[in-house]
Amino acid sequence: MTLRLAVAEIPETHLLELQDQLPPDETPRLMKLAVEPHSELVFNIVFKRQGKAVNTQGRVQVQLYIPCDRCLDSVAHEVDETFHLLLLPEEQLNHLGPETILSTQDLDTRYYDKGWLELGELLEEQTMLALPLKVLCSATCQGLCGNCGVNLNHAECRCSEPDFLDSPFAALQKLNNDD
């Protein structure tokens, strides 16, 4: 069950405002990208329709847990983003007149299919656009050992030890220890 709205339900005479929350199971793409269950996605959208063109202004808020780029630990990330989109019917994609191009050049444009606005997908997309390209649990994150995969923030890795034992210095150290 995803959130959708029929374009015909938006009155042309006045603004339509929607405010609601989506539970995590209605935002499956966010669920896939997160490492822990996320909060409800809180949104409000104001729709203004003129013929088949729908102007939308909205805000999306959700707390996501995404993996750290280096160590894969979960990092809490708060999304609070406003957006402004022009939604046009898909059939206009193929023959944009000069007047449409003029009116859309300042706005992000999306295309809807068969008279329905897929609001769940739109809100997921806006959330994903708001995520940083690189997320780190901390600026000093040590990451994972490339050899054994241990999280070097939580544990010490012993990968370098066998190399040390095989080296000539290890033999020297052994002599010293025997003294």
Residues that bind Zn ion (CB under 5 A): 68, 70-71, 137, 141, 145, 147-148, 157, 159
Cβ proximity to Zn ion, 46 vs 136, nearer residue? 136
C-alpha distance from residue 126 to each of 48, 117, 156, 168, 177 (Å)? 19, 14, 40, 58, 63
Residues written for the chain: 179
In the bound complex, what is the minimum distance in angstroms from residue 35's beta carbon to Zn ion? 12
In the bound complex, what is the minimum distance in angstroms from residue 134's beta carbon to Zn ion? 11
Cβ proximity to Zn ion, 109 vs 153, nearer residue? 153
Cβ proximity to Zn ion, 82 vs 160, nearer residue? 160
d(CA 98, CA 107): 15
Q: How far is CA 149 from the centre of its chain?
A: 26
In the bound complex, what is the minimum distance in angstroms from residue 144's beta carbon to Zn ion? 8
| Residues β-bridged to residue 65 | 76
d(CA 68, CA 144): 11
Cβ proximity to Zn ion, 159 vs 171, nearer residue? 159
In the bound complex, what is the minimum distance in angstroms from residue 161's beta carbon to Zn ion? 10
Cβ proximity to Zn ion, 91 vs 166, nearer residue? 166
In the bound complex, what is the minimum distance in angstroms from residue 70's beta carbon to Zn ion? 5
70 in Cβ contact with 143 (< 8 Å): yes
